[in-house]
């Protein structure tokens, strides 16, 4: 009996000579296998199509000196196309995925309270792993290559993007310590001073302590995320050629706080979402997450009742940050705290990772020219990734932690080869004073130039890097493949979920697609 005869009999079971049960089952199994193979082959084609339409090389900006060439060559991920997760097809969804907190990956810390010179207290969370936590009674960890991580606004070592970075570094053999800023990470406030985007003294003291107690001559890198990236960049620029760090990485750096502030206040959507959420987080730090409201209760110039009603970041900074840190106006605070002014003074290898569709640290704030002018800076801009997301592939794998780990490994190999010093020799006090005076003078010139040219630059069109597509191009690419990629979602979910979950996932993806088309 041929296959067509068997199928015909199966479809007409009422006839006199139906096939045997065994033959029927064999046919059904064969059909199931054929369907599975066909679906898998079609999904492979869909995935390749999606990859071709959305995967793009990061736009790299750097000078072609030996150190930079070796660093780029040793970081394969920034030389390969970045492929955003198909259902996180814009910066908002990538950022939302970061905000969706969960327990993975799990990281355990050992906390060390660190006293600052002004009486303040912050906490250092050492990531627990085999032979990674320093112990006073052990010399095995002394001088072990170490990475210091700075978190973002109102964050801490518990943040998902921090934990992802910690895990990637530990897997590559690094010892990792996270600096929780004053009042962050459940660290009680000891003095009337919280964290600030432009205040670098705390980082300076922590780095000096690490050099003295734990990493005197080995590799010590700094990694900053978001606002922590701004603080780290400003610190590295201030220290210039006397910086005690071997190298640095800033992920999602806002660079210019004035530009970011204008962007977050520029539309009702951003005021209602990002600006409002970040403002509430800051107010929660003062009134709920820490004892800051008790410490500032009798402060001579801070009105807590007035602060509680702040509706955006600018109001919060006007009623609190500028008063505590001695800035005359909010505009002065944003201008002086912006790390973009310090990039030209960076004297250690520094990697900047930014996403062109970052809804918080916007694309027209990325300082391409400043980075190109400094031989120690490598700027990598992806076309997608949102704010600190950088999820890629169907499994939503974080891309940036692997890039950071590759960069740290590359720096370590350069130090081992003798091409790069692990720590600079300290200069004399007179040299330090001269450099400080030069830096302050250049800062005054930068601020005067920025003020004089603000009107003309605000309306100028920013040229896009060659490898970064326009928004319209991204919309066209997404529109071409979004229907086909729904099948990819079904295939992924089928491995871990029921049919009901498949239906829900498809409905959610369709809803996101329709919402995108209306934007």
| Weakest mean pLDDT among 36-40, 61-65, 67-71, 92-96 | 36-40
Contact 355, 246 (CB under 8 A): no
Q: What pLDDT score does 435 carry? A: 52
Q: What pLDDT score does 344 carry? A: 98
C-alpha span between 149 and 38 (Å, rounded): 47
Q: In the predicted model, is pLDDT for residue 9 greater than 60? A: no
- SS3 state of residue 33: helix
- Confidence label for 313 from pLDDT (cuts 50, 70 and 90): very high
Q: What pLDDT score does 118 carry? A: 97
| Weakest mean pLDDT among 101-115, 346-360, 414-428, 505-519 | 505-519
- SS3 state of residue 108: coil
Domain positions in the chain are 3-56+469-518, 257-337
Query: DSSP string spanning 308-336?
Result: HT--SHHHHIIIIIHHHHT-SSHHHHHHH
Give every CB contact of residue 414 below 8 A, 6+ residues apart in sequence: 67, 70, 71, 349, 420
Report which of residues 27 and 259 the model is more confident about: 259
Q: What pLDDT score does 75 carry? A: 98
- Confidence label for 82 from pLDDT (cuts 50, 70 and 90): very high
How many Cβ atoms sit within 10 Å of the Cβ of residue 117?
A: 9
Q: What pLDDT score does 46 carry? A: 65
Which letter does DSSP use for residue 82 in this model? Answer: B
First to last CA, the chain: 58
- Confidence label for 443 from pLDDT (cuts 50, 70 and 90): low
Report which of residues 124 and 519 the model is more confident about: 124
- Confidence label for 472 from pLDDT (cuts 50, 70 and 90): very low
Report which of residues 469 and 77 the model is more confident about: 77
C-alpha span between 350 and 375 (Å, rounded): 10
Q: Which helix (H) or strand (E) holds 409?
A: helix 400-417
Residue with tokens 């910690």: 166
- Confidence label for 1 from pLDDT (cuts 50, 70 and 90): low
Q: What pLDDT score does 441 carry? A: 46
Task: Give the Cα-Cα-Cα angle 486, 492, 498 (nearest 5 degrees).
Answer: 100
C-alpha span between 468 and 470 (Å, rounded): 7
Residue with tokens 């259902």: 87
Mean pLDDT of the chain: 82
Structure tokens at 336: 């002086």
146-150 and 109-115 as β-strands: parallel, antiparallel, unpaired?
unpaired
Q: What pLDDT score does 41 carry? A: 57
User: Mean pLDDT across the stretch 66-84?
Assistant: 97
Q: Hey, which of 390-394, 429-433, 468-472 has the most confident mean pLDDT?
A: 390-394
What is the tens place of the pLDDT at every residue in 88-130? 999 999 999 998 867 889 999 999 999 999 999 999 999 997 4
Q: What pLDDT score does 439 carry? A: 54
| Weakest mean pLDDT among 144-153, 381-390, 412-421, 478-487 | 478-487
Report which of residues 478 and 176 the model is more confident about: 176
Report which of residues 178 and 437 the model is more confident about: 178
Q: In the predicted model, is pLDDT for residue 81 greater than 80? A: yes
Q: In the predicted model, is pLDDT for residue 507 greater than 50? A: no
Structure tokens at 452: 């004089």
Q: In the predicted model, is pLDDT for residue 437 greater than 60? A: no
- SS3 state of residue 192: coil
User: Mean pLDDT across the stretch 430-444?
Assistant: 50
Phi, psi of 82 (to 5 degrees): -90, 125
Q: What pLDDT score does 467 carry? A: 40
- Confidence label for 37 from pLDDT (cuts 50, 70 and 90): low
Contact 325, 199 (CB under 8 A): yes
Please tell me the chain's helix, strand, coil percentages from 3-state DSSP, rounded to the nearest 5. Answer: 50, 10, 35
Q: Hey, which of 45-59, 240-254, 458-472 has the most confident mean pLDDT?
A: 240-254
| Weakest mean pLDDT among 120-129, 374-383, 405-414, 418-427 | 418-427
What is the tens place of the pLDDT at every residue in 214-259? 999 999 999 999 999 999 999 999 999 999 999 999 999 999 999 9
Q: What pLDDT score does 204 carry? A: 99
Query: DSSP string spanning 481-518?
Result: HHHHHHHHHHHHHHTTS-HHHHHHHHHHHHHHHHHHHH
Q: What pLDDT score does 394 carry? A: 84
What is the tens place of the pLDDT at every residue in 328-362? 999 999 999 999 999 999 999 999 999 999 999 99
How many Cβ atoms sit within 10 Å of the Cβ of residue 308?
A: 12
Q: In the predicted model, is pLDDT for residue 414 greater than 80? A: yes
What is the tens place of the pLDDT at every residue in 168-226? 999 999 999 999 999 999 999 999 999 999 999 999 999 999 999 999 999 999 999 99
């Amino acid at each position: 009996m041929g296959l067509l005869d068997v199928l015909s009999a199966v479809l007409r079971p009422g006839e006199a000579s139906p096939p045997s049960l065994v033959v029927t089952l064999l046919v059904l199994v064969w059909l199931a296998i054929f369907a599975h193979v066909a679906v898998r082959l079609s999904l492979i084609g869909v995935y390749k199509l999606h990859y071709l339409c959305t995967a793009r090389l990061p736009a790299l900006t750097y000078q072609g000196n030996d150190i930079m060439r070796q660093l780029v060559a040793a970081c394969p991920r920034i030389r390969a196309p970045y492929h955003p997760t198909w259902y996180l097809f814009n910066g908002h969804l990538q950022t939302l995925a970061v905000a969706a907190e969960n327990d993975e990956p799990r990281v355990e810390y050992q906390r060390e309270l660190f006293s600052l010179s002004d009486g303040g207290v912050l906490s250092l969370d050492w990531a627990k792993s085999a032979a990674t936590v320093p112990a006073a009674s052990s010399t095995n960890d002394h001088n072990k290559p170490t990475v210091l991580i700075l978190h973002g606004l109102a964050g801490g070592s518990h943040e998902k993007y921090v934990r992802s970075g910690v895990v990637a570094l530990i897997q590559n053999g690094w010892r990792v310590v996270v600096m929780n800023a004053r009042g962050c990470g459940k660290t009680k406030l000891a003095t009337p001073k919280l964290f600030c985007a432009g205040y670098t003294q705390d980082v300076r003291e922590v780095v000096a302590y690490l050099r003295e107690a734990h990493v005197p001559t080995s590799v010590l890198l700094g990694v900053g995320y978001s606002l922590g990236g701004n603080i780290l960049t400003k610190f590295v620029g201030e220290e210039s050629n006397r910086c005690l760090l071997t190298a640095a990485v800033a992920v999602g750096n806002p660079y210019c706080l004035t530009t970011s502030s204008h962007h977050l206040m520029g539309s009702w959507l951003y005021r209602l979402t990002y600006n409002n959420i970040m403002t509430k987080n800051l107010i929660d730090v003062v009134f709920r997450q820490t004892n800051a409201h008790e410490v500032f209760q009798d402060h001579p110039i801070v009105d807590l009742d007035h602060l509680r009603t702040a509706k955006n970041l600018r109001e919060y900074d006007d009623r609190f940050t500028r008063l505590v840190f001695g800035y005359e106006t909010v505009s002065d605070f944003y201008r002086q705290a912006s790390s973009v002014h310090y990039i030209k003074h960076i004297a250690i290898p520094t990697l900047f990772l930014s996403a062109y569709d970052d809804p918080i640290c916007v694309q027209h704030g990325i300082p391409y020219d400043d980075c190109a002018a400094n031989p120690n800076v490598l700027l990598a801009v992806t076309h997608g990734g949102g704010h600190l997301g950088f999820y890629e592939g169907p499994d939503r794998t974080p891309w940036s932690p692997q890039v950071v780990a590759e960069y740290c490994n590359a720096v370590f190999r350069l130090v081992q080869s003798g091409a790069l010093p692990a720590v600079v020799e300290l200069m004399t006090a007179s040299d330090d004073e001269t450099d400080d005076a030069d830096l302050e003078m250049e800062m005054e010139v930068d601020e005067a130039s920025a003020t004089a040219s603000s009107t003309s630059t605000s309306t100028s069109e920013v040229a896009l890097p060659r490898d970064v597509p326009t928004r319209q191009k991204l919309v066209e690419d997404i529109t071409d493949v979004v229907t086909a990629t729904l099948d990819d979602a079904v295939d992924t979910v089928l491995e871990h979920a029921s049919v009901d979950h498949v239906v829900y996932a498809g409905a959610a993806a369709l809803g996101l697609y329709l919402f995108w088309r209306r934007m």
